[in-house]
Structure 1
Amino acid sequence: MQPVHHQVDGDEYDFTYPERGMAVIINNKTFGPESGMRDRKGSDLDASNLKNMFQRLGFKVLRCDNLTKDEMVRTLLKVASNKQYDHTKADCFACAILSHGAYQELEEPPSAVKSRQDIIYGVDGRSVTTRHLVSIFNDECCPELEGKPRLFFIQACRGTRTDAGAHLAVMGTGAQPTTQGARSDKDASDAVPNSYNQPGQKDMSHDKKPKLDEEEVDRGQSGYTAKAPVFSISPCPIYKDFLLMYAIPPGFFAWRNKDTGAWMMQCLASVLQEKDIHDTPLMTLLTRVSHLMTQFESQTINPEDDKKKAVPCVMSMLTKAVYFRDKAVPH
């Protein structure tokens, strides 16, 4: 017998369908020698924690390990086709992608402005834009999900910058400015490395960190004159009823611990398995994730990477609140 549908508030997505939905986990940990990329230690733990999290939320989970660029695209196309899984019976759809990432610069004529687009790498070292992977589940490509939430969680670098956090002066006798946040163990990043032959080299894709959204400035007789922006950030376009949560803002690289997993994935799995979440809207839960992640701080032997902070970046075009209500039990 199908679960009985109950009246749903107009400000809340209808989660009274027979099934919660499909959750796809793409876990790229082991990269081939042709890629020139370092293995992502700790990613298997993230994938296992995410699988447990999604299952506790009622999802049917499809975990795929070590996919090439083409395999990532084919896998998501197959899921969106409604042949492998019937989305008409589902409340929503979720996808978590764990891989190396970076960005590509595209010059957009007729201007000389370059746009920056996030890319995700397959284990073969070939990349696909985040916007392409997300677009596979829009209303046109997957009409069975129309009007339903589509949730994406991306653990991949979006650049090479690091965040040193902020120092706060605390009032009181003998108080000294301190850096907010608790310390963590040794960390690695999800950026694409330059080389693997030099011990202690940062796991980054560029020697020089790119300057994004900055303006060239000339000093004239009347002072400074700003020219056109050199870079224009082009975040992945999302659609109505979509949410994307990135491990890091544009231009930064994401932190990962080889023993405990990526910072955002640790916090996400922890928060979404708490007992009280069934009556808490998803956006509130993701704010908890961000708050929890601010307590992390890197500890590395390289001073340039030591004592760094990170916070997730959420892009949402959800039109209603998402509640992971308990499913009615069939009689």
Structure 2
Amino acid sequence: MKSDTRRSMEVSNKGFTYDFNNERRGIALLIHNEVFDKYSGYKDRPGDGGDFIRMQEIFTKLGFDVDAKRNLTGRKIFSTIQKVSESKIHEKSDCFVCVIASHGEEMQIETKHNVIIKEHVIVGTDGQCVKTRDIVEMFNEDYCEGLKDKPKLFFIQACRTSNATVLGMDSGHTLTITERKQPQGGMFDGVEDMQVDSKITDNVDSNYVSTNENQKSNNENSQCEDNLDTRHVSTAETYLSRRQLVHQVTDVECPEDTLLMFASLSNNFAVRNSSAGGWLLNSLYSQIKEYIETGKICSTEFTQILNGALKEMTTKNFKPSDITSRLYGAFSPGCFTHCLSRDVLFLEKQYK
């Protein structure tokens, strides 16, 4: 009966879904940078170790051949991406997944008619950058023919702020609270009910925070901070005082049959908890795991699951350390964009 149901699903979905009946599920490439070189200009990213383990677990459960890498320089990131794009496995695969967790920035590359053109980059452990566009491009049909007409899914836990213009985080709106709810994050709605606990504090994943001895001490003593991934000014206070309104365009191309999911909107920080890990990767993990455990993963279109991850991220509130207290209660939403032409259904893999 199970086999008949599966065949019926395949026939009914033909033409509306990508072919997930290939010999292999595909490669899931994980690149996680936690420890940065002393002279790179970037701080370490504590909490990423948990993300690294969870991403291996969840994509293994989905049937992927997981290729997991840690602490790569900019050059090594590029060479690793290039090598994976040349793999023959893609010819026998359903799809491809790439997860990147590191510092990130949107670099100003050109200014015309008062418009700032920026390009998102991923930072290596040596401080050298790789363009996100170049990473994505290596898996389009021009460079990776084996993935032609197959979905390519990219998940990027990295900031999208820049020197030219940064908003940082969404401060939200003041509301009259008529009902209190207990969100998934375990914090009550309403600022009066929220207290900063140094053991469950959110910090910006960033080098915006100055590095004097007192602040270093505070950071070292806070074991579960949420952090933001960027580094442009010496303190959060200085950063917040230099907001500008500038017309801008961020160049992150999304080729055909590709999905890009970011931990934040353009000009925003990506939040990472130094104990629990990145907001995006935590939510992605919990949502996929739930659909696997309930048996709904085979019948649920994948972007619906991603919408669930974004919804889960909205239940989190930023709880900064004292040195970034003006960001208290702010919000950094994730987002995704795609040029998928069909539905993505992770059908049960019947290996040949």
Shorter chain as normaliser: what TM range?
A: 0.7 to 0.9
Per mean C-alpha deviation after superposition, the further-off stretch among 295-304 and 314-323 is 295-304
Give TM-score scaled by structure 1 length: 0.84
Deviations 1:217-276 (A, max 9, x none): xxxxxxxxxxxxx44222310101000000000000011111110111111001111222
**Structure-2 change in CA distance of 1:58 and 1:308 (3 Å):** same
Is residue 301 of structure 1 aligned with residue 321 of structure 2? Answer: yes
The question of whether the paired residues in 2 share the 8 Å contact of 1:194 and 1:206 is answered with no
**Structure-2 change in CA distance of 1:310 and 1:194 (3 Å):** closer
**Distance in 2 of aligned mates of 1:127 and 1:194:** 21
Give TM-score scaled by structure 2 length: 0.79
Which residue pairs with 2:202 in the alignment? 187
**Distance in 2 of aligned mates of 1:310 and 1:132:** 25
Residue type of the alignment partner of 1:256: R
Which residue pairs with 2:107 in the alignment? 104
**Structure-2 change in CA distance of 1:329 and 1:63 (3 Å):** closer
Is residue 290 of structure 1 aligned with residue 295 of structure 2? Answer: no
Structure in which a larger fraction of residues adopt helix: 2
Which residue pairs with 2:340 in the alignment? 318
**Distance in 2 of aligned mates of 1:245 and 1:236:** 11
**Distance in 2 of aligned mates of 1:113 and 1:311:** 24
Residue type of the alignment partner of 1:48: I
Instruction: Choose the corresponding residue for 2:125, options 110, 113, 123.
Output: 123
The question of whether the paired residues in 1 share the 8 Å contact of 2:23 and 2:351 is answered with no
**Distance in 2 of aligned mates of 1:139 and 1:182:** 50
The question of whether the paired residues in 2 share the 8 Å contact of 1:97 and 1:154 is answered with yes
Q: Secondary structure at the match of 1:48?
A: helix
The count of residues paired between Structure 1 and Structure 2 equals 305
The question of whether the paired residues in 2 share the 8 Å contact of 1:256 and 1:263 is answered with yes
Which residue pairs with 1:257 in the alignment? 273
**Distance in 1 of aligned mates of 2:68 and 2:177:** 47
Is residue 244 of structure 1 aligned with residue 244 of structure 2? Answer: no
Percent of residue pairs bearing the same amino acid type:
31
**Distance in 2 of aligned mates of 1:304 and 1:193:** 13
Instruction: Choose the corresponding residue for 2:48, options 40, 43, 49.
Output: 43
> How much is the aligned-residue C-alpha RMSD, in angstroms?
2.7
Deviations 1:33-83 (A, max 9, x none): 12021110001110110110100111000000000001000001000012x
CA shift at 1:187, angstroms? 1.9
**Distance in 2 of aligned mates of 1:311 and 1:193:** 20
Structure in which a larger fraction of residues adopt strand: 1
Residue type of the alignment partner of 1:129: K
**Distance in 2 of aligned mates of 1:108 and 1:299:** 35
**Structure-2 change in CA distance of 1:138 and 1:211 (3 Å):** farther
**Structure-2 change in CA distance of 1:60 and 1:70 (3 Å):** same
Q: Secondary structure at the match of 1:277?
A: coil
The question of whether the paired residues in 1 share the 8 Å contact of 2:28 and 2:66 is answered with yes
The question of whether the paired residues in 1 share the 8 Å contact of 2:36 and 2:42 is answered with yes
In structure 1, stretches of 5+ residues that fail to align are 215-229
Which residue pairs with 1:62 in the alignment? 67
Q: Secondary structure at the match of 1:326?
A: coil
CA shift at 1:192, angstroms? 4.3
Instruction: Choose the corresponding residue for 1:235, options 233, 247, 251.
Output: 251
Residue type of the alignment partner of 1:145: L
